Amino acid sequence: MQLQQLAYFVEIVERGTMNQAAKHLFISQSSLSKSMNNLEKELNITLFCRSNKGVTLTQRGRQLYEYAKTVLSQMTLIENLKQETENPARLRIGAYPSLVTSKLLAKFAKKEPGVGEVSLWEGRVFAIIEQVKSLEAELGLLQYTDLQEKELRHHLKYNNMSQTTFLTDTWYVVVGPKNPYFKAKSIRMADVVRFPILRVQDDYFSNLNYFVEIDGVRLDAFERTIFINNLGGILCYLMDSEAVNLCDGFSARELQRFGLHVLPIDQNAMGLHFCWFKRSHELLSAGAQAFVSFLPDYYASLGTAHVLTYNPDNL
């Protein structure tokens, strides 16, 4: 078996047909087909179900596809070793969308000028886990509630990830100047649910929070939900309506800069936790080690939540 065969195989899967894959690879379709036939004979398995409409994977083919992507990604890392030597400190992060993530990276870059390249990709929980799993990111940053904790830990363990929780906080209510509680010092959940709530489009993981109960009120009690898939849109909507949003405490300072007001929720014992995770049994790069060491100091400087301690020897 050759790496080139695996690269051809992945290309076919992702293009959907032998013809399209051959065009993209700049080889003849007959040569590509011969290469795949040889791969199937060598492995003694059938990889494709072939038809006039294209190819679909067999169960064994799906398994090989996952393995082949990992092997090819690892080869890319090996080929990048020369670049890594010339620029040894680099960092690729997948993170849950947050107002403070960009500022966090700016502060980190200023403190650690030796980290020459920093890449950030924002997405939902399962998408970030997939980014780290597929080697497109070295670290993932996530937030989860008490109700989501068991599911998150199970999913990370299933995908061979190790997790370090570094921050514990809770939810607050965000309101704009047109909300009658704009000048209030706190608010009860029973008063919150009569306003429209702004949310990013739900996925399975966020749907678990519908069962969260704060001060005797569940989150599915809101009379109206409005889905907006970007933070800019949510900020603008809050400024021009009575709608509300939920946020973590360390975002309060940034939200106030936009003219919004952040209210503590009375009788709120709900835990909101923040963690970073990585692939198990892999050492962190120099850039990633510097970043996770920087996280507690940065969040402690915000002064709005409880920063947990951890043992850097476990990195």
Predicted model pTM: 0.67
pLDDT of residue 83 exceeding 70: no
pLDDT at position 304, please? Answer: 54
pLDDT at position 164, please? Answer: 94
Q: Which pLDDT tens digit goes with each residue over 13-44?
A: 998 888 888 888 889 999 999 999 999 999 99
Q: Which pLDDT tens digit goes with each residue over 249-301?
A: 888 888 988 999 999 999 898 888 999 999 998 888 888 999 999 998 888 77
Q: Can you list the domains of the chain with their CATH numbers?
A: 3-79 (1.10.10.10), 88-166+272-314 (3.40.190.10), 171-263 (3.40.190.10)
Question: Most confidently modeled of 4-18, 90-104, 177-191?
Answer: 177-191
3-state secondary structure 244-304: EEEEEHHHHHHHHHCCCEEECECCCCCCEEEEEEEECCCCCCHHHHHHHHHHHHHHHHHCC
Q: Which pLDDT tens digit goes with each residue over 160-180?
A: 999 999 888 898 999 999 999
pLDDT at position 113, please? Answer: 81
Residue 66 CA: distances (Å) to CA of 33, 142, 240: 20, 24, 47
3-class DSSP assignment, residue 74: helix
Q: What letter does residue 209 receive in the DSSP assignment?
A: G
Taking phi over 0 as left and psi of -120 to 50 as alpha, with beta for the rest, 247 belongs to: beta
pLDDT band (50, 70, 90) for residue 230 = confident
pLDDT band (50, 70, 90) for residue 310 = very low
